[in-house]
A and B are shown apart, each in its own frame.
Chain A
């Protein structure tokens, strides 16, 4: 609970002004890739390392991962069909075979319809989602943030004992 509060608080601060829109958008698309693709995949280990070492927003990556994990459940049949289409495409057979026969590429499991389909769709989605998220953050700061902070939910959240304890802890910690 404490951890969740920590990330909600950080996310709200980041959305307000702390982080640059690019950092937030970066966290968003990286979290989206993990969320859309099967979790236990090699490429997700690389993405997690990228989230840790790049200056992207961590809270946004988690939020994005949670949202897109839910979407992925519904979209898996689409990923599967896209994967089938790619893996059965005659002109790509040589590429798939050489990737399959290479042990490194084989452990990425790109020979699986859902892994390949979801990963490529996630990559394609990154192209519009990155600038859209950046614009979204700027617009949020301009028009929505104030209103969100005044909502009953936020007031309730700020009024909880746990949030107060967390805030005090943050202040003490400096």
Chain B
């Protein structure tokens, strides 16, 4: 035994512990801050992070997550927090945290410094394609903001349509053309996939091998057995071809789904152009829907976009983390890992329970829990669930519940939000010029529910305002429209608004209705002439004419190409199935031949025996 060697080993172990004790905390803190800032798009700061490898604990004094929309504000921050992580999963590079307690949790807190974080440009410089939810958010935001700017009190019916459209620069034709180019590329990719796929060559090879097995010429059992083994190999090969073909089908069906979604937006593009033209001409659509959107759209949907953003973040991270899970890398010949149980089937990250207590920006005490945040729900078999709520002495209450479920084939998000009992005195119900009056008294209640399954969204917001009393000022405007509106709202002591956003039956629909829309519509209709409707019709015709048959052509092109691709796939599938049938048939024939040879051999042996013993 080398004493020096023993001392050396002891010193090395001591140094490793010392180095990790000194440097891990600061390294870990900066690394977590950097990665989290990248993910958040704005600075994430952790103060006083400590990692104890002996107790397997992580604690920090303060955590701040900057709001990317306003870098002088935190989306939320926490005070002191401590969490335990499990030892054995850490050896498998898995972080499993059973329980975290966040005290002094605060939403929308102010920052002492700017939380701007410059995101480094990707090496490949490619911009990620916006996700489905991001597109929905952008569609809603653009529609609502367009409506919010609608002027109802300065309408002119005398419109020069040509010069109006010349200024306007219609966007739908270009968007449709570029969509068509995109689809052409996508479909030509599928054409070349079917042309270049090696499935056909493999099928030819399999066919050749099957044809080469001449059963009649096989006379010995060992040759039959060898041929059966060959055929079994062919069965596996055909099975793998079938999987390949199915993968192709899944991929093109996914592409078709994307194409359907994109094509579904064409009507929105055309309508946007038309709406922009009307707005430029200062010709609003005077109907209950438009009035309600103008009155309440911006207020309602700014919060709504926030809920969707949380869902979008959850979905993006779910797919990003799941994609990188257990990636196989083969450096040297790495062999194969055998699984004897699912004991170590942990996700990379799993926070089983977070207990939160704190307060909202509006000083409502909030408490609740978030459970099962994980990088791979199929491993935890649990969706992310959250349930937070609280109330204050003034009867205000808030509740947020929901579930992000990525266990099934289609990702599902559900968020429910309720905020009730808030005081409306001194506020305006709407930023619109139609309802510019402050409230003297009133209380509000808002309830929202968003359900998203894959690319289908179904959501509802209910906004109820009760006990309303408006302050019309000492010298209110004496314009006819304003007077009619004042008369209408002064008699209403409650205003209820319902907003529905869904794409369940096709393209995205945004509908808002309130109990005062009709009052406004009547007031406005009685003040504007029929000329407005005529001018609108002229603009609509002109917009349609300039867009031409692009939409119909594109739809026809899409249907035709997709039918062609499906036909190609059906041919391929039929070929694979035919080969499978041939292989099975050959196997049966070989089994039969084997039995025949065995019977012949038995018979010969029996005859020989009989001869020997003289029967």
Contacts and interface: CB of A to CB of B under 8 A. Distances in A.
Interface in B321-348: 332-341, 343-344
A101 to B, nearest CB: 6
Interface string B538-563: 00000000000000000000000000
B91 interface: yes
Interface in B1-49: 1-2, 5-6, 8-9
Of the listed residues A53, A76, A113, the one surrounded by the most CB atoms of chain B closer than 10 A to its CB is A53
Interface string B508-535: 0000000000000000000000000000
Contact of B336 (A55, A80, A103): A80
B42 to A, nearest CB: 38
Interface in A39-83: 49, 52-55, 72-73, 76-77, 79-80, 83
A73 B337 CA distance: 19
A8 interface: no
Contact of A97 (B2, B337, B340): B340
B4 to A, nearest CB: 9
A168 interface: no
Contacts of A117: 335
Contacts of B8: 52
Of the listed residues B9, B336, B340, B343, the one surrounded by the most CB atoms of chain A closer than 10 A to its CB is B340
B85 to A, nearest CB: 15
B88 interface: yes
Contacts of A87: 338
A111 B336 CA distance: 8
A139 interface: no
A18 to B, nearest CB: 15
A16 to B, nearest CB: 21
A166 interface: no
Given A76-B332, A80-B336, A49 B9 contact: yes
Of the listed residues B9, B336, B338, the one surrounded by the most CB atoms of chain A closer than 10 A to its CB is B338
A54 B336 CA distance: 33
Contact of B5 (A52, A76, A112, A113): A52
A55 B1 contact: yes
A31 interface: no
A96 interface: yes
A93 B340 CA distance: 8
A55 B5 CA distance: 9
Contacts of A100: 338-341, 343
B9 A52 contact: yes
Interface in A127-143: none
A2 B444 CA distance: 81
Contacts of A38: 332, 334-335
A52 B332 contact: no
Contacts of A83: 335-336
A97 B342 CA distance: 11
Given A49-B9, A96-B340, A100-B343, A113 B335 contact: yes
Interface in A93-127: 93, 96-97, 100-101, 103, 106-107, 109, 111-115, 117
A114 B335 contact: yes
How would you classify the secondary structure of chain B's contact residues: helix, strand, loop or mixed?
A: loop
Nearest to A81: B335
Contacts of A77: 333
A151 B500 CA distance: 92
Nearest to B3: A53
A159 to B, nearest CB: 33
A164 B337 CA distance: 50
Contacts of A101: 340-341, 343
A12 interface: no
A19 interface: no
Nearest to A109: B337
A107 B91 CA distance: 8
A65 to B, nearest CB: 15
A152 to B, nearest CB: 36
A53 B340 contact: no
A109 B313 CA distance: 36
B335 A53 contact: no
Nearest to B343: A101
Contact of B334 (A72, A84, A103, A114): A114
Contacts of B335: 38, 76, 79-80, 83, 112-115, 117
A54 B334 contact: no
Interface in B455-504: none
Given A53-B2, A53-B6, A76-B332, A113 B341 contact: no
B340 A114 contact: no
A109 B334 CA distance: 11
Of the listed residues B1, B336, B339, B344, the one surrounded by the most CB atoms of chain A closer than 10 A to its CB is B336
A40 B336 CA distance: 16
Contact of A111 (B2, B88, B338): B338
B9 A112 contact: no
Given A53-B2, A100-B343, A84 B336 contact: yes
A13 B347 CA distance: 53
A68 to B, nearest CB: 13
A100 B343 CA distance: 9
Contact of B338 (A49, A72, A113): A113
A116 to B, nearest CB: 8
A109 B337 CA distance: 8
A83 B334 CA distance: 12
Contacts of B2: 52-55
Of the listed residues B91, B333, B344, the one surrounded by the most CB atoms of chain A closer than 10 A to its CB is B333
Contacts of A55: 1-2
Interface string B71-85: 000000000000000
Contacts of A114: 333-335
A139 B332 CA distance: 36
Given A38-B332, A73-B332, A76-B332, A111 B1 contact: no
Contacts of A107: 91
Contacts of A49: 9
A76 B1 CA distance: 33
A128 B532 CA distance: 102
A92 to B, nearest CB: 11
B336 A53 contact: no
Nearest to A93: B340
- Lowest 3 A-B CB distances belong to which pairs? A114-B335, A76-B333, A100-B340
7 contacts: A53-B2, A76-B333, A96-B340, A100-B339, A101-B343, A113-B335, A113-B336
Given A52-B6, A107-B91, A114-B333, 9 more contacts: A38-B335, A72-B332, A76-B333, A80-B333, A111-B338, A111-B340, A112-B335, A112-B337, A113-B338
